[in-house]
Amino acid sequence: MSTSRSMIFTALLAVAISSCTGDIAVRNTTPAVPTHPGDPLAGEESYEPTCSTCHGTDLAGVGGLGGPLAPNAFVESSTETEIADLIIAGVPRDHPGNITGVDMAPRGGNSFLSDQDIRDVSAYLKS
């Protein structure tokens, strides 16, 4: 994985960390299946309370928690579905793409986010 992709992957990992407490086991999940294309406006609303804790309200990242999401080579080179799949699965601290050394919990630690909410967040990140 390239350095840029690793940094982006790590940044997305941190998105899920906002509700992280202690060790989090990464569970196997089914890839996101959108019910409709992602809506960036709805995604911004979902991003703020869950993702901004680690990635900042400006997407610039928060030191020691989450890397920047804009600009971010992984976000720029991935599809909305690929980004959503990453958020849904989460990223363990020992993953090679994790540059912060902190677990990104599945669904950003917010189990109330639906697959569509996460698809919307992906569309927001792509916009």
Task: Output the domain CATH number for residue 8.
Answer: 1.10.760.10
pTM of the model: 0.70
Residue range of the domain that includes 41: 3-126
Instruction: Quick: pLDDT tens for 94-125.
Output: 887 777 889 999 999 999 999 999 999 999 99
Q: What residues pair up with 104 in beta bridges, in sequence order?
A: 91
Helix-strand-coil split of the chain, %, nearest 5:
50, 5, 45
Q: Report which of residues 22 and 81 the model is more confident about.
A: 81
Looking at residue 57, the DSSP 8-state letter turns out to be T
Structural contact between residues 92 and 26, judged by C-beta atoms closer than 8 angstroms:
yes
Q: What is the pLDDT of residue 25?
A: 43
Q: What is the pLDDT of residue 108?
A: 92
User: pLDDT tens digits, residue range 38-96?
Assistant: 999 999 999 999 999 999 999 999 988 988 899 888 889 999 999 999 999 998 988 87
pLDDT at residue 23 greater than cutoff 80: no
pLDDT in the model for residue 50 = 94
**Count of domains for the chain:** 1
- What are the residues whose beta carbons fall under 8 Å from the beta carbon of 59, sequence distance 6 or more? 68, 69, 70, 125
Checking if the pLDDT of 16 tops 60, the result is no
What integer pLDDT is reported at residue 74 of this predicted model? 83
Question: How high is the pLDDT of residue 105?
Answer: 92
Encoding tokens for residue 72?
């971010």
The arithmetic mean of pLDDT across residues 13-17, rounded, is 47
